[in-house]
Amino acid sequence: MSELVGKAFRGGYAVPAFCAWNAEIMEAVLSVSARLRAPVILMSGPGEFPVLAPHIMAAVAYAIKERYDTPAALHLDHGDSLDMVAQCIDARYTSVMLDFSARPFEENIEALRQVVAMAHPLGITVEGEIGRIGKADDVTAEGGGASAYTDPAEAAEYVRRTGVDLLAVSVGNKHGFYRGEPHLEFGLLSELHAAITVPLVMHGGTGIPEKDIRRSVGLGIAKVNVASELVHGFRGSLTGQWRESRNLWTPMALGEAARAIVPVIEKWFRMTGAAGKA
C-alpha cells in the first residue's frame, strides 16, 4: 500500500479504501477500479472477520484480483491485537493497522514498533493512529464513543519512534453517519501536514462533502476510508427487495445489492481524484 498511497501523496490525490466484507463487494470494487483505471484498497477488520476469517478473506480477495488489471492493496483496518496483525500478515495482507489509539501513548508506540518489526521485512505497509477517531452514530463498528484531536507534536514523535508508513489522524472526522455537516479542523490538518512527513489517512469518509475531501487531500490526506456508506447502500437494497417480495432467492438479492453500491464506489474514485491514476 505504501506504493499506491505514496504515489497519491506526491501526486495530489487520495486512494479510497473500501470496506469489503465478502466476494460480492470485492468484485464490485475491483471491477469499478479497473474500469475507471483507479488504484484501490480493499479493507477488512474485526467487524468483518465474523463473515470470513482473515486467511479466507485474503484468499477470496486474491482470487478475484486475478481477474482485474488494476493496482490494489489488501488492508487490515482497525486491527485490535498483535495476534490479529500476525494472522493477517500470514494471510498475505499487504498492509496492516493496529489501532491502539485509545491506549496510553507509550503503549501505542511500543505496540506499533512491534508491528513494524513484523511487517517491514516482508514489505508490508503499517498504519497507526494517534489521537482518537470516535463515532458519529450509535451503530458503527469502528471507533470509540468520544474523539480526541491529534496533537501535531505527539504525532511527529509517534511517527519518528514507530516507523509507521501512514498515520490516521483525528481532525473532526468520525466513523459512521454525521449528525449534520461535519466540521473539519483544517488549521489542525495543516499543522499535522507540516509536522509529519508520511501520508495522512482520513477515517470516516462517509458524509464528508466533496469540497472538504479535496481540501483535505491538499493538506496531506492520501487515503480515505469508506465503510458506512457501502454498508448502508447494500443493506438498503436488501431490505427494499425483501419488503417488496422481490429476489427472495438470496443469491439474486445479494447480486442486486452489490450492483446498487456501484455508483457509490464510482463517486469516491472521482471525489478523491484517483480515477485515471492507475
Provide the residue ranges of all domains of the chain, joining segments of one domain with +: 2-271
List of E strands, 158-258? 166-168, 200-202, 221-226
Specify whether 77 is catalytic: yes
pLDDT band at 176 (very low <50, low <70, confident <90, very high): low
How far does the chain reach from its first CA to its final CA, in angstroms?
Answer: 13
Q: What's the average model confidence in pLDDT over 241-266?
A: 90
How many alpha carbons fall within 13 Å on the CB side of residue 37?
A: 3
User: In the structure grid, which three cell numbers stand for residue 137, read together?
Assistant: 452514530
pLDDT in tens, 195-246: 999 999 999 888 899 999 999 999 999 999 999 899 999 999 999 998 988 7
Q: Is residue 165 a contact partner of residue 134, using CB atoms and an 8 Å limit?
A: no
User: In the structure grid, which three cell numbers stand for residue 75, read together?
Assistant: 488492508
Q: Domain 2-271 falls in which CATH fold?
A: TIM Barrel (3.20.20)
List of E strands, the chain? 15-19, 40-44, 72-79, 95-98, 125-129, 166-168, 200-202, 221-226
pLDDT in tens, 2-51: 999 999 999 999 999 999 999 999 999 999 999 999 999 999 999 999 99
State residue 137's pLDDT score.
41
User: In the structure grid, which three cell numbers stand for residue 60, read together?
Assistant: 477470496
Lowest mean pLDDT: which of 121-125, 172-176, 189-193, 249-253? Answer: 172-176
- Give the Cα separation of 248 and 264 in Å (integer): 24
- Give the Cα separation of 209 and 214 in Å (integer): 9
Q: Which of 77, 99, 151, 165 is catalytic?
A: 77
Q: Flag whether the pTM goes above 0.75.
A: yes
The β-bridge relationship of strands 95-98 and 40-44 is unpaired
Lowest mean pLDDT: which of 108-117, 166-175, 233-242, 253-262? Answer: 166-175
Q: What's the average model confidence in pLDDT over 174-188?
A: 78
**For residue 122, what is the DSSP state?**
G
